[in-house]
A and B are shown apart, each in its own frame.
Chain A
Amino acid sequence: SSELTQDPAVSVALGQTVRITCQGDSLRSYYASWYQQKPGQAPVLVIYGKNNRPSGIPDRFSGSSSGNTASLTITGAQAEDEADYYCNSRDSSGNHLFGGGTKLTVL
């Protein structure tokens, strides 16, 4: 199917590790890109490609992929990581896809 599926909400204790997943058939051909969005702000690219971070993104953010599932891992989550996270890919026709988003709560 031409969809990306994410868990609606995930929580993590401060300083612990959390994995946010994204599933979809397109991920067998594309690495997902991941975006962080805080309330009232535009999305920010945090991971792209196999496991690349744009300049300024902390190295606690990492990405991985297996089969039809892409994952964003935050190792040692901080309070400022509380946000919505979206995965992004393209379908077989080249149309952009976004996952429904995962709301991350840092406890």
Chain B
Amino acid sequence: QVQLQESGPGLVKPSGTLSLTCAVSGGSISSSNWWSWVRQPPGKGLEWIGEIYHSGSTNYNPSLKSRVTISVDKSKNQFSLKLSSVTAADTAVYYCARTGPISVTTGYYYYYMDVWGKGTTVTVSS
């Protein structure tokens, strides 16, 4: 079964760039799925950051779009997140997740994020 594992520095300085990688195992990143990044500030809810398809197509949260870059490395079966100009507000647990394609049934669309990494904590502090 597919498993995801986030990795990257746990501490980033203010104004710096947060860089994380999500390794995909047990399956191919070139499957018919999108691959997402989601974060959760301490004590708060989930926030979608963005997603990427194996072709390199991306979608980003409009509120973060100017600072986010998501890329894919098919040779390593992994995808990555870069978030620039970070502040303390970017302190969070960062998750990667497999996002299924959009389907339609009984006149409604639906999709789901069915596989999640365990998450990695990133603290922005000097």
Contacts and interface: CB of A to CB of B under 8 A. Distances in A.
6 contacts: A29-B108, A29-B109, A31-B108, A50-B105, A86-B45, A90-B109
Contacts of A97: 48
B14 interface: no
A98 to B, nearest CB: 4
A98 B46 contact: yes
A31 B107 CA distance: 10
B43 to A, nearest CB: 11
A43 interface: yes
Given A44-B116, A49-B105, A100 B59 contact: no
Interface of A: 29-31, 33, 35, 41-45, 48-50, 54, 65, 86, 88, 90, 93-101
A96 B111 CA distance: 10
Contacts, number: 74
Contact of A49 (B59, B110, B119): B110
Contact of A95 (B45, B48, B105, B114): B48
A43 B116 contact: yes
Interface of B: 36, 38, 45-48, 51, 59, 61-62, 95, 99, 102-103, 105-106, 108-114, 116-119
A41 to B, nearest CB: 8
A101 B47 CA distance: 11
B68 to A, nearest CB: 13
B106 A42 contact: no
Given A94-B59, A95-B62, A98-B47, A33 B108 contact: no
Nearest to B1: A55
Contacts of B106: 50
